[in-house]
């Protein structure tokens, strides 16, 4: 375990059995504009809590739904959010926080104020679990190294089509229809199932004790907290064993990592259902081999839940994905711009394959903003091999995230490694803004630009669309 891993989550209360949120319970959420924390805010609000939040990063695509709901948000950290010197009776009963904040900002004034007052601080995932306990719905968790957001969104689509009105948390934006309002990462429903995306990083999924688990795949990721693949598999096994004795595990045993986990569970009292991998006769609405696998996990889960086969087929064919998962941002002047969250070599490889299937014969740009220095350094060769299969490659500056050592590698090092593979000559233009500017000058009609990353890479796609649109308008050409 690295020193960073030892610091992540330090000072936060450990995962516990979920309990219903009390009416008018006061909860304050740090990092409230993030994908996951924003869902915790919305779900606690709907569960009857008096909820507030702050985020020094300012508004995000995820915070619009919070503003729409009239939730009190601040755009900086301050001890006064906890101490409430103007109204001590309004102090929060507990804080919810992203675990990584404890290593990135150990001197955070709000965390210190909470310690001073004896107010418990917990991961925001605990609030999501408590919201599920409040609804009394059966918890269905989607887990795995890749594909969690897409598959969780697909499960929501399936249950909505079946009239089951689920509640949910997904780590990507749901459109207005699936979110039942402003696009967000949360859904509040009156049905019998609560869908949750369960992330293995640093035990983030520990608060979830699901009745049904979908395990899509399992391989080495997050080198700051998992020393090797064995550590990843052990984390998944431990989480599954903490589920209720009557739980059902829907396991994609076609994946080598999942098969190894399933073999270890020979004495587990729950039921293991293998994902049906026979996609014959199914029309699958999302491209690529990864989505074919995700679709069959949804099919199997739908059957476990008793969803009519006709509805399962309708969802598998009709679901159009969630935000930042091979999302089409625009086609301007014959240039297609796609935005994707991919930041692992396996995910990138499968996404590139999906793009080739969707746009056969067209030149593909792989534009990648690496997510964290430690991941980039640990997997540099695998990233280079995968990215080198594209026709053009641009590497934006690395998004540091929780990393403190930014000297161990660089965007240029990855670009040089790609170029050394004998494929395209990769470039490292600089910031996400500079990368978009570079692309705007280099792309040509017919090109497909696939932007990937988990930090601010979405800025590349949005800015490129804007620049291409402006250039087209200035040229007087009609829109493509």
Calculate mean pLDDT across residues 429-435. 98
Model confidence over 216-232: pLDDT tens digits? 999 988 888 898 999 99
**Given this model, what pLDDT does residue 225 score?**
85
Q: At residue 1, does pLDDT exceed 50?
A: no
Q: At residue 146, does pLDDT exceed 80?
A: yes
Helix (H, G, I), strand (E, B) or coil at 392: strand
**Given this model, what pLDDT does residue 2 score?**
55
Is residue 358 within 8 A of residue 328, CB to CB? The reply is no
Q: pLDDT class for 455, splitting at 50, 70, 90?
A: confident
| Least trusted range by pLDDT, from 123-127, 392-396, 421-425 | 421-425
Model confidence over 168-200: pLDDT tens digits? 999 999 999 999 999 999 999 999 999 999 999
Tell me the percentage of the chain whose pLDDT exceeds 70.
Answer: 98
**Given this model, what pLDDT does residue 194 score?**
98
Q: At residue 385, does pLDDT exceed 60?
A: yes
Taking the C-alpha atoms of residue 78 and residue 34, their distance in angstroms, rounded to an integer, is 18
Q: pLDDT class for 4, splitting at 50, 70, 90?
A: low
Q: At residue 282, does pLDDT exceed 70?
A: yes
**Given this model, what pLDDT does residue 5 score?**
63
Average pLDDT, the chain: 93
Calculate mean pLDDT across residues 62-88. 95
Taking the C-alpha atoms of residue 332 and residue 177, their distance in angstroms, rounded to an integer, is 27
Model confidence over 434-453: pLDDT tens digits? 999 999 999 999 999 999 99
> How many secondary structure helices (H) and strands (E) does the chain include?
19, 18
Calculate mean pLDDT across residues 280-293. 90
Model confidence over 112-145: pLDDT tens digits? 999 999 999 999 999 999 999 999 999 999 999 9
Residue 174: how many other CB atoms lie within 10 Å: 27
Is residue 202 within 8 A of residue 347, CB to CB? The reply is no
Identify each DSSP E strand in 76-209 by its residue range.
94-97, 121-123, 138-143, 167-174, 184-187, 193-198
Q: At residue 88, does pLDDT exceed 60?
A: yes
**Given this model, what pLDDT does residue 48 score?**
97
Distances (CA, A) of 52 to 26, 126, 198, 248: 8, 16, 24, 36
Taking the C-alpha atoms of residue 11 and residue 106, their distance in angstroms, rounded to an integer, is 9
Instruction: Enumerate domains of the chain plus CATH numbers.
Output: 3-127 (3.40.50.720), 137-318 (3.40.1190.10), 327-475 (3.90.190.20)
Helix axes 256-264, 229-241, angle to 10 degrees: 50
Distances (CA, A) of 117 to 51, 92, 99, 437: 19, 10, 20, 49
Provide the token pair at 111. Answer: 């965390």
Q: pLDDT class for 58, splitting at 50, 70, 90?
A: very high
| Least trusted range by pLDDT, from 144-148, 269-273, 394-398 | 144-148
Supply the DSSP string of 147-183, one letter for each residue: -HHHHHHHHHHHHHHTT---EEEEEEEEPHHHHTSS-
Q: pLDDT class for 10, splitting at 50, 70, 90?
A: confident
- pTM exceeds 0.75 for this model: yes
Model confidence over 330-368: pLDDT tens digits? 999 999 999 998 888 988 998 999 999 999 999 999 999
Q: At residue 403, does pLDDT exceed 70?
A: yes
């Amino acid at each position: 375990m690295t020193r960073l891993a030892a610091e992540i989550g330090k000072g936060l209360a450990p995962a516990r059995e979920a309990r219903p949120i009390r009416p008018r319970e006061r909860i304050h959420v740090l990092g409230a504009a993030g994908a996951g924390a924003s869902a915790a805010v919305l779900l606690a609000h709907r569960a009857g809590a008096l909820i507030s939040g702050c985020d020094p990063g300012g508004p995000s695509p995820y915070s619009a739904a919070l503003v729409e709901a009239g939730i009190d948000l601040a755009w900086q950290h301050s001890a006064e959010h906890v101490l409430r010197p103007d109204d001590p009776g309004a102090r929060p009963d507990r804080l919810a926080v992203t675990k990584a904040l404890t290593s990135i900002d150990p001197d955070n004034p709000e965390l210190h104020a909470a310690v001073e007052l004896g107010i418990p601080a917990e991961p925001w995932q605990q609030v999501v679990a408590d919201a599920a306990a409040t609804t009394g719905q059966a918890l269905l968790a989607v887990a795995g190294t890749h594909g969690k957001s897409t598959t969780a969104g697909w499960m929501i689509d399936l249950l909505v089509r079946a009239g089951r009105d689920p509640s949910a948390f997904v780590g990507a934006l749901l459109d207005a229809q699936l979110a039942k309002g402003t696009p967000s990462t949360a859904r509040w429903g009156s049905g019998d199932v609560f869908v949750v995306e369960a992330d293995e990083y640093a035990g983030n999924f520990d608060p979830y004790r699901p009745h049904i688990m979908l395990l899509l795949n399992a391989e080495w990721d997050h080198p700051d907290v998992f020393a090797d693949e064995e550590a990843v598999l052990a984390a998944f096994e431990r989480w599954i064993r903490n589920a209720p004795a009557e739980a059902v595990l829907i396991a994609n045993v076609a994946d080598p990592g999942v098969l190894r986990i399933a073999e270890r569970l020979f004495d587990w009292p729950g039921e293991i259902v293998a994902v049906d991998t026979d996609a014959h006769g199914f029309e699958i609405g999302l491209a690529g081999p990864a989505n074919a696998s995700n679709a069959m996990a949804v099919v199997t889960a739908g059957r476990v839940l008793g969803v009519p086969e006709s509805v399962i087929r309708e969802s598998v064919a009709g679901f159009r994905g969630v935000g930042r998962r091979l999302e089409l941002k625009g086609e301007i002047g014959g240039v297609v711009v796609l935005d994707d969250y991919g930041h692992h070599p396996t995910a990138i490889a499968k996404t590139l394959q999906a793009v080739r299937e969707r746009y056969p014969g067209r030149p593909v740009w792989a534009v990648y903003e690496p997510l964290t220095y430690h991941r980039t350094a640990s997997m540099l060769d695998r990233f280079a091999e995968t990215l080198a299969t594209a026709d053009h490659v641009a590497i934006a500056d690395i998004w540091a995230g929780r990393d403190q050592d930014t000297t161990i590698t660089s965007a240029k090092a990855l670009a040089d490694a790609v170029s050394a593979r004998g494929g395209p000559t990769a470039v490292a233009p600089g910031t996400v803004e500079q990368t978009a500017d570079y692309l705007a000058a280099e792309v040509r009609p017919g090109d497909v630009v696939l932007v990937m990353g988990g930090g601010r890479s979405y800025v590349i796609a949005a800015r490129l669309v804007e620049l291409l649109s402006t250039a087209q308008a200035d040229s007087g050409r009609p829109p493509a």
